[in-house]
Chain A
């Protein structure tokens, strides 16, 4: 499976600023998910957006999806030092049955400076 691309690869911001990460993918999708990974740990699910949705919010997170451009963005508002982590988008193309195989993007390393 081919990975999607994320940009930027790395992002460094001051606490309180907003962080925007972008994801592009190659195939048609059933849904797109964003995950967070702290250094040396597993992934934590943040938010899922379905192919028929254009925008979704969860707390300080805002995700958009443009299926015509095969792209998504994750916005973290009012960032905190604790938001420092790697962020990955992952696509589910709906082809793998009841348990979904995901294809991950290349990831964005976010550093929030206190």
Chain B
């Protein structure tokens, strides 16, 4: 079945560091990928829609300069958390797929000290 790979799975870094998270579709092409954020014991909140070859679409309240998204190929989208601070600590998950079920990465746990 379709597989989405997300890397890294865990990041611990100092405040002020920029962190890049990769999301790859391994056996299919994804013109659109989605990035979610999940706090402990809560649901997924959509942050942005990543579109191959064009600008990402951000949800209300999500700072586009803080969360940079690049979707330069049909199999790779990246989310960069710029100058991360402790409040950015969270679980970030990507997904990809067409109409129908979405395929999710295993998530990245980001901890900012």
Contacts and interface: CB of A to CB of B under 8 A. Distances in A.
Interface of A: 1, 3, 31, 33, 35, 40-45, 48, 88, 92, 96-107, 109
- Size bin of chain B's contact surface: 20 to 34
Interface stretch (B11-19, B38-46, B62-70, B79-87): B38-46
Contact of B107 (A1, A40, A99): A40
Interface of B: 4, 6, 30-34, 41-46, 49, 59, 91, 93, 95-107, 109
B31 A99 contact: yes
B90 to A, nearest CB: 12
Contacts, number: 71
A4 to B, nearest CB: 9
Contacts of A33: 101-102
Contacts of B30: 99
A100 B102 CA distance: 8
28 contacts: A35-B104, A40-B109, A41-B107, A42-B6, A42-B93, A42-B106, A43-B93, A43-B95, A43-B102, A45-B103, A88-B44, A96-B49, A98-B32, A98-B99, A99-B33, A99-B34, A99-B98, A99-B99, A100-B97, A100-B100, A100-B102, A101-B34, A101-B46, A102-B34, A102-B46, A102-B102, A104-B43, A106-B42
B30 to A, nearest CB: 7
Nearest to A50: B100
B103 A3 contact: no
B110 to A, nearest CB: 13
Contacts of A88: 43-44
A41 B33 CA distance: 18
Nearest to B103: A45
Contacts of A99: 30-34, 49, 96-99
